[in-house]
Every structure is written in C-alpha cells, then in structure tokens.
Amino acid sequence: MTLALGLHGGCGTLERSLMSEEAWAQSRAHMGAALKAGWAILAGGGRAVEAVEAVVVALEDSPHFNAGYGAALNENGRHELDASIMDGATLEAGAVCATTRIRNPIRAARKVMESGRAVLLTGAAADDFAAAAGLDIVAPDYFTTQRRVEALAKLRERGRLGTIVAASEAEKHGTVGAVARDGAGNLAAATSTGGFNNKPRGRVGDSPIVGAGTYARNGVCAVSCTGQGEIFIRRVAAYDCAARIMYGGQTLAAASDELVQKILASHDIGAGMIALGAEGDPRAPFNTIGMFRGWIGAARRIVVGAHEDLHDLGPA
Ligand code: ASP
C-alpha cells in the first residue's frame, strides 16, 4: 500500500526578493496544510479523488495562489474560474469553466463528475448547477486581492507600453493542482485556476480540459499542469504524459521532463506539472525560476518548495 500525494501552486512564482520571508513562509505553510488535509483522507482509507479535492480546496482558499480566493482578473477586471477533476480508477471526470460565483470551483467539478450528466459545464450554468448542488456561492469580488488588482494594472500598463513580452511569469499567471494515490492503488488528479491576468473575457485555458491540464489513469500516472494553457491544450499535455508511458514505454521521469523541458519549452512558455507514477513516485518538473510544489511520498514527510530549494515541514 503506497499512499502518495503531490501538489503544485503554479509555475508563476515571484522572484524571492519580491515577497517578504514571512510571506514565503506563509505560502509554504499553506501548502503544508493543504497536503495535510489530503493526507488525512488517504491515511483514513479515503479515495484518491477525495484527497485531491481536499488539497485543491485548501489552495483555493489561500490568497497565495491563483485559484479561488486570490485568483487572476481578466481584461474586464472580473474573475472567470476554471477547474477539473479526474478519477484514474474509472476515467470519470468533471469540470467547470468561466465560473464567477462558486467559492470552490473544484467542488463543483467533482459534483459535475458525480452527476454523470456532463463532463464540463460553462459559466452561469455552472454557477447555477453549483448553487443547486448546495455548494458555497459568493459575490464575485470575494476572489479579489490587492495583489491581483496590481498585477492587472501592471499588465495593462505593459500593454500600453508594448512591453508585455518582458512580463514575468508571476505577473501573468498561476494555477493550483493535486495528484494522489490511495491505498487501493487508485490515482486521481485535480486542477483549479483563475487563468491568466488580463486574459480575454470568455477565455478558457487547459485547467478544465481533461487531457490538457489534468489527467489520471490507474497503472499509468496522475498529472496536473501549470503554464500557458493554450500550448497545453494544443499539445494535449497531460494526456501526452500518460501516452508516452503507456505506448512509448517511457518512465514518468522521462515523460514529464521531456514534455516540460523540451516540448512545452520549445514554445517559449513557462511550464510545469506535478505528477505521480503508478506506484506513487512524485515528479515536479518546471522550466521557470520556481514552482510552488510539495508532496508526501514514501518517506511520509511533508516537503514543499517555491524555488530550487525544498523545505521539510515534518512528518505527515
Ligand atoms: N494553465 C493556466 C491557464 O492557462 C495558467 C497557469 O497555470 O499558470 O489558465
């Protein structure tokens, strides 16, 4: 029985000097708490799909990550949130996109999956579905933080000055995601995002697209992606990771590294992913200056990091 859990908080990580050590410590603590929430479920005999939902809910509720509270703003200064979840045991999946009022979009994705009536619900219909399912509904400005307001103003300014290409990954985007393996060997993956700062109204990225931003299949891998979603959609990135293992005989390490460091990087985008192999081995490749990430693996210790260095937060 190898339990395993991993998360990412996006590859749009700020440079170290741009946040106080206190704020970095808080972001690490929030990742640690998210991992603990998921681990409690796995250790209690719960299913992988329940664990990834719990991890993502915790990250959605943290202002440090671009999902739920603290999500990015689109070009109209509004939030349009995307999320998806996949159960590797059954290949069932659920997703919502361009939602504006669901406090935890990942909970709505799970409800869509369980409904069996759709895989992906959009916009106002997704909001209404979540309300009818009894999920927490909030005013759209609940998601807004000062940091995202400033990021939007900065990107608009860059748009005026024609310096968008110089924008850092952190100014542009972020996402959260989780992968898990439970005691029965089931894999699951979940992803949630506010997308890109200053994104066009109605733009939907890879995060709610099964196979692009999220994929899980027992015996193969569970994957949640972060980075410029358009390229992940075109490359069907999360599924490509699985296909490389299933049909190409690659290891998870080779498949995920090649995708992030060569294939996705060849499009000149920031990219990263958190992935677990069939036996629960974690991988977290990224090609940016950092990626919020963490895992609990065979050693049963909580490990998190934002840049190159990793921090051990103690036993799971
Ligand atoms: N993949 C997300 C999107 O394109 C953004 C990110 O992960 O940074 O919506």
* Per-residue pLDDT, 235: 98
- Distance between CA 284 and CA 223 in Å, rounded? 10
* Per-residue pLDDT, 282: 96
Q: What is the mean pLDDT of the chain?
A: 95
Q: Average pLDDT in the 192-201 region?
A: 94
From 168, 228, 286, give the residue whose CB has the most ligand 1 atoms within 8 Å, as the site to mutate: 228
Q: Are 316 and 302 in contact (CB under 8 A)?
A: yes
Residue type, 80: E
Q: Average pLDDT in the 188-206 region?
A: 96
> Ligand 1: distance of its center to the CA of 13 in Å?
12
* Per-residue pLDDT, 1: 62
Q: Average pLDDT in the 239-255 region?
A: 98
Q: Average pLDDT in the 127-137 region?
A: 98
CA angle (169, 175, 177) in 5-degree steps: 135
- For residue 207 and ligand 1, the question of a CB distance below 6 A is answered with yes
**180 three-state secondary structure:** strand
* Per-residue pLDDT, 67: 96
Q: At what angle are helices 105-115 and 48-60 packed, to 10 degrees?
A: 150
Q: Average pLDDT in the 64-86 region?
A: 96
pLDDT at 171 over 80: no
Query: Model confidence at 155, in pLDDT bands (50, 70, 90)?
Result: confident
The gap from C-alpha 196 to its chain's centroid, in whole angstroms, comes to 13
For 121-154, give the DSSP string: EEHHHHHHHHHHTT--B--GGGG--HHHHHHHHH
Residues 6+ apart with CB under 8 A from 16: 24, 307
- Distance between CA 292 and CA 27 in Å, rounded? 9
pLDDT tens, position by position, 203-242? 999 999 999 999 999 999 999 999 999 999 999 999 999 9
Q: Average pLDDT in the 44-57 region?
A: 98
Q: Are 121 and 225 in contact (CB under 8 A)?
A: no
> Ligand 1: distance of its center to the CA of 183 in Å?
30
Length of the chain, please?
316
Q: Average pLDDT in the 101-108 region?
A: 98
pLDDT at 147 over 90: no
From 175, 176, 214, 230, give the residue whose CB has the most ligand 1 atoms within 8 Å, as the site to mutate: 175
- HEC profile for 32-53? HHHHHHHHHHHHCCCCHHHHHH
Query: Model confidence at 17, in pLDDT bands (50, 70, 90)?
Result: confident
pLDDT at 169 over 90: no
Position in ligand 1 atom list of the atom nearest CA 228:
4
pLDDT tens, position by position, 268-296? 999 999 999 999 999 999 999 999 999 99
* Domains located in the chain, CATH noted: 4-308 (3.60.20.30)
> Ligand 1: distance of its center to the CA of 96 in Å?
15
Give the predicted TM-score (pTM) of the model: 0.96
Q: Are 7 and 59 in contact (CB under 8 A)?
A: yes
Could you tell me what percent of the chain has a pLDDT over 90? 86
* Per-residue pLDDT, 144: 94
> Ligand 1: distance of its center to the CA of 315 in Å?
31
Position in ligand 1 atom list of the atom nearest CA 270:
8
Residue type, 171: E
